[in-house]
Structure 1
Amino acid sequence: MNTEHPYPAMRAEEIPLGVQEVILPSGERALAYSTAPTTPPPQAVPVAQPIPAWAKTTALLAPTVGGGIGMAAVGLSTAAPGLIAMSHALWSAVALIATGGTAAAVLIGRVRARLGASQRAMERPHITQHITATGLFGRANGTINHR
């Protein structure tokens, strides 16, 4: 330990900010406050991270999708009276088809009933055949009826 100085010398990293070591004209070393503003040590510069592809795609699609929805809303509001009239016309068409189908079914039923009555009058004779056999290898006998 130095007998001239009652305090031990400080290491450079122990010296606080704004204080620096100076040499006096007598050659003695001393700590003094700096009158010039001290700059803090430079901090690490943040490195720019790349933007993910999904974020770029979403950012590019967002205005497009929003604009498309907006244009669809404008188009629907413009076409609303025509769409209402079209729905009424479609319901009318469905009712016409249903009525026409019912009328066709009734007409076909009546025509079939008339044709059936006339065919029963001119009915062809039915030929029936009854065959019987006894046993696995027995002789078969049969009758034929004409009516």
Structure 2
Amino acid sequence: MHEPTRTSTTPATRYGDPILYPTAIQQPVMLPAELPPGVEMVTLPGGYRTLAYTLPGAPAAPAPAAAQPVPTWAKTTALLAPTVGGGIAAAGFGISYAAPGLIAMTEALWAAIALIAAGTLAPLLLRTARGSAGRGAAPVQHVTQNISASGMFGRANGTINHR
């Protein structure tokens, strides 16, 4: 700590010490209101009182915040999370059991597509193969069919004409 010193013929005294010698120079006394910020009057271990710079005290800990209520959206989300997770788990479980059936249905669908394609393309291929044999185009035949029946439960008769 800084101890002010004076050049004097009398023994040195510190600021605030009681006056022991009447010939000592009296230091001016500062009022507490006149002290600059960070300066305080302190008492040293030897009993002397002096001005000293002090460290600012630690700020008081903030009061604990009051408990906030849980928002409604958070409650709703917390309640929906297990439901949605369970639904996803059930869907995955169901798909794992359905996978062999889905594979079989896919194979059947490809077989049906192949059958339809073969049924559509077969007449075209036969027509081109018949026409490329060198015999020329085959004559177009008209087939007519006449069917008649008498009465509601009568026997039906029919004729087929090739022209």
TM-score (norm 2): 0.35
The structure whose residues are more often helix, as a share, is: 1
TM-score (norm 1): 0.38
Q: Radius of gyration: which is bigger?
A: 2
